[in-house]
Every structure is written in structure tokens, then in C-alpha cells.
Amino acid sequence: MRLLIADRFPERALVELSHLGLEVVYRPELTSEELPRELEGVTILVVRGLEVSRLAIEAARDLDLIVRAGAGVSSIDVRAASSRGIYVSCCPAKNAIAVAELTFALLLALDRRIPDAVAGLRAGRWEKDEFARAEGLHGKHLGIVGLGAVGREVLTRARAFGLVPHAYSRALTPHRAYEAGVGYASSLEQLASRSQILSLHLPLVPATRAIVSREVLEALPDRAILLNTAAAELVDNEALAEIAPRKGLRLGLDVFEGEPATRSGRFRSPLLDLPTAYGTPHIGQSTDQAQAALADETVRIVRAFLVEGNVPNVVNVCAASPARFQLVVRHLDRIGVLANVLGVIKRHGINVEEVSNTVFDGAQASAAKVRLAGRPSEACLAEIRAFDEVLHVDCVALPNRA
């Protein structure tokens, strides 16, 4: 079985994967355009930031599993993978501490204008009067957009800095906010209006695209700080470019629209032309600690897939099965019994959604659970009961499905 790693990966984790009996192909230099040509015979694909397009997935006839060694799967065409029965998994929360640390690095840099002060010193200028002017963070109101793994790590650090935390999330209720010790905002506009610092920690999905709208940006106080270490597309960037200079907004950005596909090269963003904007080249999760945690989680996912047939953190399996009925067949543990049962179900035109089989001690008898899209007729059940190896058959309607 061949596993292709198409991004940088720690040597230790490569060795662990090879010990699972896999043929490990390490090609960190691959581009998204080259990927489709390299997937022949590949069963498992591991990527970090590399885009996995529909074209790549359709070219990968042997592919069973795609693992993104990071949080979220926005760089993978999950719909295309689902249509071909390919599992897609990721490593949530493993980079949360690293991203939270960079969030505060950008915040402190903006408040103290550290990059500008360093540039002045390197140019031979001692500008103490200029850079001694800083507002400080203690007592300021911090709005956290999204209380997932990263948002919670930011909240922990906010308390250490003496910030007053508020939060907005679609899943957040006043009671949950009270339990978490944060101020509750019923809307993103309300959160922005009370935040001297607004920090974004949402996944990029259709519902969150441009969620930081013109109205949200206008609601921010003058000279507020906006931090984005999540996804550039969360923000209406055209509105941001217009509003930021007018309101004197200070920007700390790790993500940008139109980021280069390569790890090095030329890049310009109009936002970085603003004197009040600082940026880093999408390095939020790029600490040694985070990379080790992501690699360990990737190995765990691959091992579980190979050994147990399970895929931890899978993102494209139905949360609720479309099955409406469950057929329970107790049978002798002999060759062909399940094949015969499934053959009868097929002849009667019923789609099988899920199948599981449990073997009892002694390996003489088993119980199969076959989840079906429709109710089998009495004639269908009679055919199944007629097999000598079948001990008993029950058909039950699944709760809230029939």
C-alpha cells in the first residue's frame, strides 16, 4: 500500500509511517498542478497546505484516504472525495496553541510597534520618544470571534494579560458564555462595537465567508485592532482596505487573499501598504511543537485506518445515516451467508446503507446489522429466513427515520 506525503513532514513521523508496512513516498516539493500525475497507485495522501482539487481526486483511482495535517479541509475538494467514497480527515486543535501564540505576538507588536522600532535601530536611529508611546493592553476589551480550540487558547492568554474578554459564536448561548467567563454578544456587529481588539478564529465555510462585513468593520471603534490568523476570506477585504485608514484601524494579519502556492517568492497585499498593518506569511501553525503534534495525529489517523478500519476526525461521513430500517440477521459464521442475504436484498430493489457483523465467542455464530433505505417485504424476509445458515431475522424501523 502506497502513501504519498506531498508536503513537509518530520523525519520521525516518516519512519513511524513506514513501520506500519506502508510504502512511503515523500514529495514535499509537489505543486497542486503536479499532484494529479503523481497519484497513480496511491492509497493514502497526506497534505498540509497543498490544494487537492477535483482533478487530482478523479485521477486517483486507488485513493482511499486524504489526511490534511492541519485544522480544517478548505484546501481539499471534499465533495469530489465524497462522490468517490474517499475518506477526508484532518488534525483539529493540534495547532491551536501555536496560532494563539502568534495572535498575541501580532497584538503586542501592534501595540508597541516592535517591527518599526527594530527597523529604526537597525538603521542606526535611537527613537525612544517615538516608540515610548503605547496604549498597553491591560483592561482593554477583546472580542473573540469563534470559541473553538484556537479561540479557547486565546481566551486563556487574554486573562493572563488582564484583557476583558467577549465572544461571539453561532453555538454560544448566554449561559455558555457565563460558564466560560466571557461577555456574550448576540451578533458580530454587537461584539465589534464593544471590542477595542477583535480576533478572528472561525473556520472558512460558506456560512463564514466575508462574515466580517462592512457593517462589522464600521462597528469597530476608531483605532481598534483587528487580528486575523484564521482565513483571509472571513473578511470583506475590499471594505477593510477602505475603512481601515479612515478609522485608523490597526491590522495584525497572518493570512491574505491570493497567497502564493509556493513557499517562497514575491507577494504583495494592498493591506500591507497601510502603515498600521503588520503581517506574517501564514506561519500561524508553524512551530516545532505544533508540527510534532500534527505529525503524531496524522500517524494516529493512518494507523487507525489500517488497523481498525476507522478514520478519526473524518469530515465527510454522514452524521445521520439515511437508512430508515435495520435488518438484524443472526446466522452461522460460514462462507457466503452475508453474500446470500445481500443478494436477496438486491433482487428486491432495496438499497443497503450500512453493514456491520459481530462474531460471537467460538466463531460459530454471528449477528449482522444491515441498514436499509426501505422496508423489506414479507417475501424478501421469507427468502432470507429460508437459508439453512440463517438462525433468526428481525426488521425494525429506526427512530425518527420511518
Q: Do residues 90 and 106 both lie within one domain?
A: no
Considering the domain boundaries, does residue 314 fall inside one?
no
Q: How confident is the model at residue 402 (pLDDT cuts 50, 70, 90)?
A: very low
Query: pLDDT tens digit string along 329-363?
Result: 999 999 999 999 999 999 999 999 999 999 999 99
13-64, pLDDT tens digit by residue? 999 999 999 999 999 999 999 999 999 999 999 998 899 999 999 999 999 9
- 119 and 63 in a single domain? The answer is no
Task: Please give the pLDDT value at position 377.
Answer: 96
Q: What share of the chain is helix, strand, coil (3-state, %, to 5)?
A: 35, 20, 45
Flag whether 315 is in a domain. Answer: no
How many structural domains does the chain have?
A: 3
| Mean pLDDT, range 367-371, rounded to an integer | 95
Q: Tell me: do 143 and 278 sit in the same domain.
A: yes
Angle (CA) 235 238 243, round 5° = 90
Query: Would you say residue 144 has pLDDT above 70?
Result: yes
| 239 and 138 fall within a common domain | yes
367: domain CATH number is: 3.30.70.260
Residue 316 lies in a domain: no
pLDDT at 74: 85
402 domain residue, yes or no: no
pLDDT tens digit sequence for 146-184: 999 999 999 999 999 999 999 999 999 999 999 999 999
Residues 39 and 59: beta-carbon distance below 8 Å: yes
The answer to whether the beta carbons of residues 188 and 161 sit under 8 Å apart is no
| CA 231 – CA 147 distance, rounded (Å) | 15
Region 125-152: what's the mean pLDDT? 95
pLDDT bin (cut points 50, 70, 90) of residue 100 is very high
pLDDT confidence of residue 321: 78
Same domain, 269 and 343: no
Indicate if 41 and 184 belong to the same structural domain. Answer: no
* 165 and 277 share one domain: yes
312 part of a folded domain: no
> H-helix or E-strand containing 165?
strand 164-168
Q: DSSP assignment of 334-348, as one string? A: -TTHHHHHHHHHHHT
- Confirm if 198 and 143 have CB atoms less than 8 A apart: yes
| 3-class DSSP string for 193-243 | HCCCEEEECCCCCCCCCCCECHHHHHHCCCCCEEEECCCHHHECHHHHHHH
For residue 400, the model assigns a pLDDT of 63
175: domain CATH number is 3.40.50.720
259 in the same domain as 205: yes
Residue 317 lies in a domain: no
Please write the tens of the pLDDT for every residue from 253-299.
999 999 887 777 899 999 999 999 999 999 998 898 999 999 999 99
Q: Do 185 and 143 touch, CB atoms closer than 8 A?
A: yes
User: In terms of domains, do 82 and 126 share one?
Assistant: no
Residue 342 φ then ψ, to 5°: -65, -35
Domain containing 83 equals 2-94+289-307
220-264 residue pLDDT tens = 999 999 999 999 999 999 999 999 999 999 999 999 999 887 777
Same structural domain, 108 and 122: yes
- Tell me, yes or no, whether 83 and 203 share the same domain: no
Q: What is the pLDDT of residue 55?
A: 96
Is the pLDDT assigned to residue 401 strictly greater than 80?
Answer: no
Residues 123 and 228 reside in one and the same domain: yes
Domain endpoint, select from 256, 274, 307? 307
